[in-house]
Amino acid sequence: MIKEKFLSEFISFVKENALFKNNSKILVGFSGGADSTALINVLLEFKKEYSLTVMAAHINYHLRGQDSDLDERFVKEFCFKNNIPILVHSANLQNQSGMEAKAREIRMNFFEKIKKHYKIDAIALAHHKFDQAETVLSRFIRGAAFNGLSGIKPKAGHIIHPFLPFSKDDLCSYLNSIGCSWREDSSNQLSDYNRNKMRNQLIPQIEKEFNPNFREKLLDYAFLFSEADKIFKDQALKAYKKCLLFADEQETFLSLDDFLSFPSIIQFYIIKTAWEKHSATDKDFYLNNFKDIKNLIALEGSKELHLPHDVVFQKDYEYLRLFNKKRFNDDPEYTSREISSLRSIFVFNDKRILMQKLKSLPDEGYPKDSDTVILDLDKISFPIYLRYRQDGDKFIPFGMNSFKKLKDFFIDEKIPKFQRDKVVLFCDSDKIFWIGEHRLDNRVAVDDNTKNFVLFKIEDTREIKHRSAKKKNKKD
């Protein structure tokens, strides 16, 4: 009866959360303990009915001497007996700070390599409901928000957790009902690691002195936070799209005014959405990170903040920008470029420059967009040069008769610090004649005596690609 009830509840949970389907290829993280031994046995029960391919992966960390080797022998013998392919990885993990995180990194990297090589559909891990309770408490202590406090998901990408409805006692009872043994990890009784301290000391003390149902309450919170997280994510996705100015694989720009129009909880999820894109994970973004961002936004001027997983957050007067500093290609191909004569189009790093000689001003008059300018061709001399700012740069802004330092101009115009080194300067042999996309020099302005006109227009090559991709998607 124990077995039938257990298997019935297991397959109901699988179906409810679409954890696997017919003909799935499943990799089980198999330590030899009761949890993973129960998991691999249950999958074998349904192997024929669902045409499953079951594989196992084991890691020997060599932390418990002979016991670690006996664990490895157990899983190998079990898999041989049950005709299950198994891959074993040996990792010489020494006792050190952060060892739990390091072990997890080794484990997941090993699983991912197997998944890629063998085209695995799902990686099954044997976390049960009290692991869930410990996870919620651990994340609460670390300062996680709703997403983290919702705990372990039944399915996260290709990682599945089919045992979340069950306790450790349920798993052991099932194993006993089928007469299957397992390995006991004696280190679980020690309190050398944070997870063990929580399991063996903190939670029992809370249950003894404050609430005997503390684990169950943590599971209730996980459910509530999970439901709240779904609602906020749905609202935040709409808000994110409203705030979005530009996004590609390298960076994301959000409207500051639109961002500030939303409640703080939605702001949190907007930033987290952008952060996840550039961090390639949904973990390690905490409420304190968001508080740091809010404090930064409240300050005047351009500011920068470094977030977990190498994501950089920047704030200026009008927008917010996020990018990953390790993946962002910010090295310019040109530091300067010489253009010897009139030509219709050329490229300067991530800018495409259009140059066009005109016989007269357009009927619609001067361009209204900052990325386009018309000036007196006879007031510049070739070759012209494109470059970035240098110490001591100055020019005479349009409408003025005296020089102004470029540095002071940038400050007065509230151009963010992290953009100033990317502003393209158009120069000839003796002057800067256009601060690209910002201000023309008065010395080259069109007047009543102008006979030859020239138009310059700057386009962002990334924006061109973005528009092209949108057109292609519409056609498709």
Task: Tell whether 319 and 344 lie within a shared domain.
Answer: no
On the question of a cis peptide bond just before residue 383, with omega within 30 degrees of 0, the verdict is yes
Task: Tell whether 203 and 59 lie within a shared domain.
Answer: yes
Task: Tell whether 384 and 261 lie within a shared domain.
Answer: no
* Best mean pLDDT range from 5-9, 132-136, 185-189: 5-9
Q: What is the mean pLDDT of residues 82-109?
A: 85
User: Considering its fold, how many domains does the chain have in total?
Assistant: 3
Q: What is the mean pLDDT of residues 73-77?
A: 96
DSSP per residue, 158-215? TEE-TTTT--HHHHHHHHHHTT------GGGGS-SSHHHHIIIIIHHHHHHHT-TTHH
pLDDT band at 186 (very low <50, low <70, confident <90, very high): low
Task: Tell whether 80 and 196 lie within a shared domain.
Answer: yes
How big, in percent rounded to 5, are the helix, strand and coil portions of the chain? Answer: 45, 20, 35
Rounded to a whole number of angstroms, the CA Rg of the chain reads 31
Q: Which residues pair with 320 in a beta bridge?
A: 254, 315
206: nearest Cα among 134, 152, 131, 145: 134
Task: Tell whether 281 and 417 lie within a shared domain.
Answer: no
* Residue 140 located in a structural domain: no
* Residue 95 located in a structural domain: yes
What does DSSP assign to residue 380? S
| Boundary residue ending a domain (298, 324, 350) | 324
Task: Tell whether 282 and 380 lie within a shared domain.
Answer: no
List the CATH number of the domain containing 266.
3.30.465
pLDDT of residue 193: 63
Task: Tell whether 90 and 46 lie within a shared domain.
Answer: yes
Task: Tell whether 256 and 308 lie within a shared domain.
Answer: yes
Residue with tokens 């006996």, as numbered in its chain: 70
Query: CA-based angle 215:218:224, to the nearest 5?
Result: 150
pLDDT of residue 473: 44
Question: Residue 219 belongs to what H/E stretch?
Answer: helix 214-243
pLDDT of residue 95: 62
* Best mean pLDDT range from 225-239, 347-361, 379-393, 451-465: 379-393
> Does the pLDDT of residue 435 top 90, yes or no?
yes
DSSP-derived pairing of the beta strands 25-29 and 122-124: parallel
What does DSSP assign to residue 310? G
List the CATH number of the domain containing 38.
3.40.50.620
pLDDT of residue 36: 96
Task: Tell whether 32 and 105 lie within a shared domain.
Answer: yes
pLDDT band at 97 (very low <50, low <70, confident <90, very high): low
* Residue 151 located in a structural domain: no
* Residue 299 located in a structural domain: yes
Task: Tell whether 20 and 107 lie within a shared domain.
Answer: yes
Q: Quick check: 284 and 308 in contact, CB under 8 A?
A: yes
Task: Tell whether 237 and 111 lie within a shared domain.
Answer: no
- Domain boundaries, position 42: 2-126+162-212
> Does the pLDDT of residue 462 top 70, yes or no?
no
d(CA 137, CA 142): 9
Q: What is the mean pLDDT of residues 348-369?
A: 87
Q: Quick check: 123 and 159 in contact, CB under 8 A?
A: yes
What are 269's two structure tokens? 């999820």
Q: What is the mean pLDDT of residues 465-472?
A: 43
pLDDT band at 467 (very low <50, low <70, confident <90, very high): very low
* Residue 311 located in a structural domain: yes
**Who contacts 251 (Cβ-Cβ below 8 Å, separation ≥6)?**
278, 321, 322, 323, 328
DSSP-derived pairing of the beta strands 336-339 and 303-307: unpaired
pLDDT band at 463 (very low <50, low <70, confident <90, very high): low
* Residue 148 located in a structural domain: no
Task: Tell whether 101 and 195 lie within a shared domain.
Answer: yes
pLDDT tens sequence across 236-271: 999 999 999 888 778 898 999 999 999 999 999 999
End-to-end CA distance of the chain: 55
252: nearest Cα among 183, 317, 351, 328: 328
